[in-house]
């Protein structure tokens, strides 16, 4: 018989897995020191992770998104501007409520429209993959009876899951610039690259780099890109983290600042690291119970519980090519800068593991003669990871991307970073309620002989005769599990437990 410990009976139930679509918007008015809008080249949003508020019947989320726009002015020069706005989304909770939630927002599409010489309207279509769990105790309420209930326990593995938020990481670097000519930062983009994430007792340790792409426009001359990689080491402390847990982590840039002086540029940014930790731990549940000498009825309930799968950060190299003309790049154009993002379109399992497929979309800034313009190159990717899943959450970023030209062909080499969390589920049947009736009327005897039927166990015989399984085993000199019948046993001596 499994020893039953109701202190280990709390499990997580998979309550919801859905995609929530929502929109963000910003109206940007240009300051006087920027040129009037001639042509919009691109608008890139940076979405920060939301804060969640769980209440009865509803889960509400709110976060911030920064829109960074790059445009060519009516004077032919390159300019950049940005605006930060909030976004919200919500979803109804199931009847079980929500106790643990993972919400991953991503951008689907961005539409920018020029409303006037100095005004820009941005609409952003976004979606969030939301996975939610509810806590449940499998321990039934025990009846108030005289005597001790005999309890048959069961053991399984159930998953633990937590979302951990670390302290803000501040990074800075002083960059020497060539020459003393005035330079303006017209566009800045940063991605966090976390190849090393480890769960240890009491913390999740994250080591990585903030990869920053700066687009600089000298007062005289051609704009150019500058890429900097700022290393960081962050520890997200939480007493629930165990050494056997697995974890993934990601970080969003919540502030990116640049200051240019004569011959130098100061870069500073703030990162918000977030980790998700999960592991499987033993779960105890009640399979059956009865009170010796009394009639006992147990009601059982089948429950689907969460089980943790793989949870880690992985990175891959992706290469591809495309025709320059198909990407909208003129034949004599020179590529000045690249910014890329990844879109996951497929997640599936096969006999060799899991496959994650999608597309890397690279935005190219180019100069063709005296004209500045933007092109777009897309390259498919398909990567394979170990293990399978029932549900798989993926956070995909492209920390760095390089595009070169070879004749009429464009060649792309990129770093693809994936933060993965796989989940499974299993079902178990546990006693949910126990009713104990009056003591069974039975004739007293010194000993009775029982001939067990095929498939019967010590527990089932003890329950049939309303005697303690411990006393039944003792009377027959049996040592071992109650949920079995020792090999070779043809009959059992049932002790007198009449009341």
Distance CA 199, CA 138 (A): 28
Asked if 457 and 480 touch (Cβ cutoff 8 Å), the reply is: no
Degrees to nearest 5, angle at CA 327 with 46 and 410: 95
Mean pLDDT rounded to a whole number for the chain: 91
In 3D space, the residue among 11, 54, 15 whose CA is nearest the CA of residue 391 turns out to be: 15
Distance CA 335, CA 366 (A): 4
Average pLDDT rounded to a whole number, residues 281-298? 91
Distance CA 312, CA 320 (A): 26
User: Residue 463 CA to chain centroid, in angstroms?
Assistant: 46
In terms of DSSP H, where are the helices of 54-96? none
What is the pLDDT confidence band of residue 293, given thresholds at 50, 70 and 90?
confident
Which pLDDT score is estimated for 499?
Answer: 39
Which tokens in the block code for residue 96? 């079980």
Asked if 410 and 329 touch (Cβ cutoff 8 Å), the reply is: yes
Tell me which residue has tokens 């010489």.
Answer: 117
| Residues 223-260 pLDDT 10s | 999 999 999 999 999 998 988 899 999 999 989 999 98
The neighbour count for residue 29, using CB atoms within 10 Å, is 11
pTM of the model: 0.89
Which tokens in the block code for residue 11? 């499990």
Which pLDDT score is estimated for 85?
Answer: 95
Q: What is the 3-state secondary structure (H, E, C) of 430-478?
A: EEEEEEEEEECCCCCCCEEEECCCCCCCHHHHHHHHCCCHHHHHHHCCC
Which pLDDT score is estimated for 59?
Answer: 85
């Amino acid at each position: 018989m499994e020893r039953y410990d109701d202190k280990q009976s709390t499990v997580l139930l998979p309550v919801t897995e859905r995609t929530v679509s929502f929109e963000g918007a910003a109206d940007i008015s240009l300051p006087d020191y920027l040129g009037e809008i001639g042509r919009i080249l691109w608008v890139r949003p940076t979405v920060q992770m939301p804060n969640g508020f769980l209440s009865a019947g509803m889960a509400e989320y709110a976060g911030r998104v920064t829109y960074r726009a790059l445009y060519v002015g009516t004077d032919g020069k390159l300019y950049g501007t940005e605006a930060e706005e909030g976004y919200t989304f919500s979803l109804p909770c199931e009847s079980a409520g929500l106790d643990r939630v993972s919400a991953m927002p991503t951008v689907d599409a961005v539409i920018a429209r020029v409303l006037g010489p100095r005004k820009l309207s941005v609409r952003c279509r976004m979606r969030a993959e939301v996975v939610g769990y509810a806590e449940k105790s499998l321990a039934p309420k025990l009846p108030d009876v005289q005597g001790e209930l005999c309890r048959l326990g069961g053991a399984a593995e159930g998953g633990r899951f937590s979302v951990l938020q670390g302290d803000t990481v501040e990074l800075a670097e002083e960059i020497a610039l060539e020459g003393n000519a005035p330079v303006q930062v017209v566009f800045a983009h940063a991605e966090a690259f976390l190849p090393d994430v480890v769960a240890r007792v009491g913390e999740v340790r994250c080591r990585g780099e903030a990869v920053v792409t700066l687009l600089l426009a000298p007062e005289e001359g051609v704009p150019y890109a500058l890429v900097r990689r700022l290393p960081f080491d962050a520890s997200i402390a939480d007493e629930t983290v165990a050494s056997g847990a697995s974890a993934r982590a990601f970080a969003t840039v919540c502030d990116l600042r640049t200051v240019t002086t004569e011959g130098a540029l100061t870069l500073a940014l703030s990162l918000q690291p977030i980790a998700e930790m999960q592991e499987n731990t033993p779960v105890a549940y009640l399979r059956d119970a009865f009170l010796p000498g009394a009639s006992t009825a147990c009601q059982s309930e089948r429950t689907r519980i969460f089980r943790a799968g793989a949870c880690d950060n992985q990175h891959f190299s992706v290469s591809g090519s495309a025709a320059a003309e198909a990407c909208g790049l003129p034949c004599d154009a020179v590529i000045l800068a690249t910014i890329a993002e990844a879109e996951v379109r497929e997640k599936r399992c096969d006999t060799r593991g899991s496959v994650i497929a999608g597309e890397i979309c690279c935005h190219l800034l180019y100069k063709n003669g005296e004209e500045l313009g933007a092109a777009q190159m897309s390259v498919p990717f398909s990567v394979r990871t170990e293990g399978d899943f029932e549900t798989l959450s993926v956070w995909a970023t492209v920390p760095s991307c390089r595009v070169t030209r070879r004749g009429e062909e464009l060649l792309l080499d990129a770093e693809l970073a994936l933060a993965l969390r796989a989940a499974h589920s299993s079902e178990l049947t546990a006693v949910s309620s126990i009713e104990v009736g009056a003591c069974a009327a039975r004739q007293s005897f010194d000993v009775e002989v029982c001939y067990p039927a095929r498939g019967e166990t010590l527990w089932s015989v003890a329950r049939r005769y309303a005697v303690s399984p411990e006393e039944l085993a003792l009377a027959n000199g049996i040592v071992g599990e109650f949920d079995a019948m020792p090999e070779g046993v043809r009959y059992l001596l049932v002790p007198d437990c009449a009341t």
